[in-house]
């Protein structure tokens, strides 16, 4: 069951719906004139993995629009054993990418440190069978996991981890629960002369009326720490002290 804040959400007036054959968009109104260009870019992602694919499972791609704006598109991909059979095919009448727009738009409006949502597209293959894509404004930077592997300055690392911790606490305070929080969906980007951390991939996220209770905060922390230990089982990049900073439970 969806949280009340999510189920009672009214469409953000800055987004609108558009259908192009079997492709249905929810787009920011200022992107409507680029719908055909966006459809072409997303089609190239579903027909074959582009050479510039990035992100977890190679599901993301950056591309520029005619006006110079850069978007990041992420194709919905299955994890676990299901990915071997279905990969990018999903079932249902309430597509997950559209729900992600709902969550991301409300979280962004509240001031949570999330990537700015720009829309989504669902390609209906048959009734209740679809491929889905989520669009956000592109972020210049790298994932937290990439960062900790490339910067070996302990002072800088501690600063970035504290920044990530602050971003997660703010996310919780704004009522956002990220069911798949890991080192791949915390983006480190430069903001002026300092750094900030932006939270991405809200595919499984939920948003609540008020700040998260302690049990949900602990669940997010456990998920993040499991991710870190799985990626770095020997503690080569993240020792016990570093992990303690990320533990927001």
Residue 12 shares a structural domain with residue 94: yes
- Per-residue pLDDT tens for 31-60? 999 998 999 889 888 655 544 445 554 578
Residue 54 Cα distances to 20, 37, 61, 124, 216, angstroms: 27, 20, 6, 24, 30
Domain that holds residue 20: 4-137
- Per-residue pLDDT tens for 94-148? 899 999 999 999 999 999 999 999 999 999 999 999 999 999 999 999 999 999 9
Q: Are strands 70-75 and 60-64 parallel, antiparallel or unpaired?
A: antiparallel
Residue 35 shares a structural domain with residue 55: yes
Percent of all residues in the chain with a pLDDT value above 90, rounded to a whole number:
71
Where would I find the H helices in 22-176?
35-47, 82-85, 96-110, 144-150, 154-173
Q: How sure is the predictor about 13, in pLDDT bands with cuts at 50, 70 and 90?
A: confident
Q: How many domains does the chain have?
A: 2
Residue 185 shares a structural domain with residue 68: no
- When pLDDT is averaged across residues 191-217 and rounded to a whole number, the result is 92
Question: Residue 41 belongs to what H/E stretch?
Answer: helix 35-47
Q: Please give the radius of gyration of the chain, using alpha carbons only, rounded to the nearest integer.
A: 18
Residue 128 shares a structural domain with residue 17: yes
Instruction: Provide the token pair at 1.
Output: 């069951």
Residue 33 shares a structural domain with residue 86: yes
Cross-strand pairs, 24 = 19, 122
For residue 87, the model assigns a pLDDT of 73
For residue 232, the model assigns a pLDDT of 95
Instruction: Provide the token pair at 185.
Output: 């969906």
- When pLDDT is averaged across residues 163-180 and rounded to a whole number, the result is 96
Residue 105 shares a structural domain with residue 52: yes
For residue 84, the model assigns a pLDDT of 47
Residue 82 shares a structural domain with residue 198: no
Q: Is the pLDDT of residue 162 over 90?
A: yes
- CA–CA distance, 15 with 98 (Å, rounded to integer): 11
Residue 35 shares a structural domain with residue 152: no
Residue 116 shares a structural domain with residue 170: no
Most confident of 42-46, 73-77, 211-215: 211-215
For residue 51, the model assigns a pLDDT of 44
Residue 31 shares a structural domain with residue 129: yes
**Residue 135: which of 203, 190, 89, 228 has the closest Cα?**
203
- CA–CA distance, 195 with 156 (Å, rounded to integer): 10
Averaged pLDDT of the chain: 88
Instruction: Provide the token pair at 139.
Output: 């972020």
């Amino acid at each position: 069951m969806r949280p009340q804040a999510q189920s009672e959400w009214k469409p953000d007036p800055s987004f609108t719906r558009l259908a192009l054959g079997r492709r249905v968009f929810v787009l920011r109104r200022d992107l409507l004139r680029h719908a055909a260009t966006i459809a072409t870019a997303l089609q190239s992602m579903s027909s074959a993995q582009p050479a510039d694919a990035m992100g977890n499972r190679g599901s993301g791609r950056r591309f520029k629009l005619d006006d110079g704006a850069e978007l990041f598109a992420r194709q919905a991909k299955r994890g676990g054993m299901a990915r071997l059979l279905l990969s990018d095919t999903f079932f249902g009448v309430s597509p997950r990418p559209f729900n992600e727009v709902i969550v991301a738009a409300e979280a962004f409006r509240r001031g949570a440190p999330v990537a700015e949502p720009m829309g989504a597209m669902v390609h209906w293959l048959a009734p209740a069978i679809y491929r889905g894509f989520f669009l956000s404004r592109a972020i210049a930077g790298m994932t937290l996991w990439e960062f900790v592997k490339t910067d070996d300055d302990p002072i800088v690392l501690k600063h970035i981890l504290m920044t990530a911790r602050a971003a997660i606490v703010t996310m919780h305070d704004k009522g956002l629960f990220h069911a798949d929080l890991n080192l791949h969906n915390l983006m480190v980007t430069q903001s002026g002369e300092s750094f900030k951390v932006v939270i991405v991939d809200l595919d499984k996220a939920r948003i609540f009326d008020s700040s998260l209770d302690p049990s949900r905060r602990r669940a997010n922390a456990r998920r993040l720490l499991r991710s870190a230990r799985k990626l770095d089982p020997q503690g080569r990049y993240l020792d016990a002290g570093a992990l303690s900073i990320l533990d927001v439970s």
